[in-house]
Amino acid sequence: MIEFRHVTFAYDSAHPVLEDISFQIEEGESVGLIGANGAGKSTVMKLILGLLFPQSGEVLVNGIPVSKDTLADVRRTCGFVLQNSDNQMFMPTVKEDLLFGPVNYGLSREEAEAKADAVLEQLQIEDLKERYNHRLSGGEKRMAAIAAVLAMEPKAVLMDEPTSALDPYNRRQIIGVIKEMPVTRVITSHDLDMILDTCSRVLLIGNGKIQADGSADDILRNKELLESSRLELPLCLQR
């Protein structure tokens, strides 16, 4: 589904953020990208989406090399849930946000409304349908943003800090939704408890390299490995 082949990227040519990294994410996997601030997690996301392009190497999405010429296909394949939902929800109501993508992809309004209703039911947030976005709570906005992405039926969903700034109830709601998503998931987060709960695999990024790639349970229980990358054990494992 997603492949990096010897990718190097630098904002400043003298200091690569990513240096000759390679990995594959298979269809249906749920993968957590973890690392200290500045490790390159968000850069990986932007490279997948074609918001950035590597200085060397190649990024492929569903077998398609990511380039300026393939952005439409790549972004139809990958949905992106931003950390700040206010930057994603730009129509007046939740309903209009859910309809925007499908209608612009060529569906009739009737078809788009049926798709939106199905997603709202799947996430159990039918009550948000007619609500104004500016009147939603932080957790409601995050759920609505996820719904808007799922309404476009992507094959993969990328999520940047999906549980940040949420109260415990809304955090649990989001985690439940993530676990039930029937698509490939790539999640960046400092919430390692959430990563442990939602991801079967973890990529640990540090010093421009993949420092570890393996099961979430193995990596997130390895205190020495995490501390070497300026991370700590998930709170649930510190008791």
Domain boundaries, the chain: 2-237
Please state the rounded mean pLDDT for residues 193-213. Answer: 96
Superfamily of 2-237 according to CATH: P-loop containing nucleotide triphosphate hydrolases (3.40.50.300)
Q: Show the tokens assigned to 143.
A: 């759920």
In this prediction, residues 120-128 reach a mean pLDDT of 89
pLDDT of residue 193 exceeding 80, the answer is yes
pLDDT score of 49 = 95
- Per-residue pLDDT tens for 80-96? 998 888 888 889 999 99
Give 173's Cβ-side CA count (13 Å radius).
17
Percentage helix, strand, coil for the chain under 3-state DSSP, each rounded to 5:
40, 25, 35
Say what percent of the chain tops pLDDT 70: 100
**Residue-level pLDDT at 83:** 82
Q: What is the tens place of the pLDDT at every residue in 143-190?
A: 899 999 999 889 999 999 998 888 898 888 889 989 988 899 999 999
Q: Residue 139's pLDDT is what?
A: 85
- DSSP for residue 54: -
pLDDT grade, residue 205 (50/70/90)?
Answer: very high
Work out the mean pLDDT of the chain and round it to a whole number.
92
pLDDT band at 237 (very low <50, low <70, confident <90, very high): confident
Q: Residue 221 has what pLDDT?
A: 96
Q: Say what the pLDDT of residue 1 is.
A: 92
| Structure-block tokens of residue 212 | 């570890």
Q: What is the pLDDT of residue 106?
A: 86
- Per-residue pLDDT of 15-44, as tens digits, reads 889 999 999 999 999 999 999 998 999 999
Distance CA 173, CA 169 (A): 6
**What does the pLDDT look like over 97-110, one tens digit per residue?**
999 988 988 889 99
Mean per-residue pLDDT for 230-235?
93
Rounded CA gap, 89 and 182, in Å?
23
Q: According to the model, what pLDDT value does residue 7 have?
A: 97
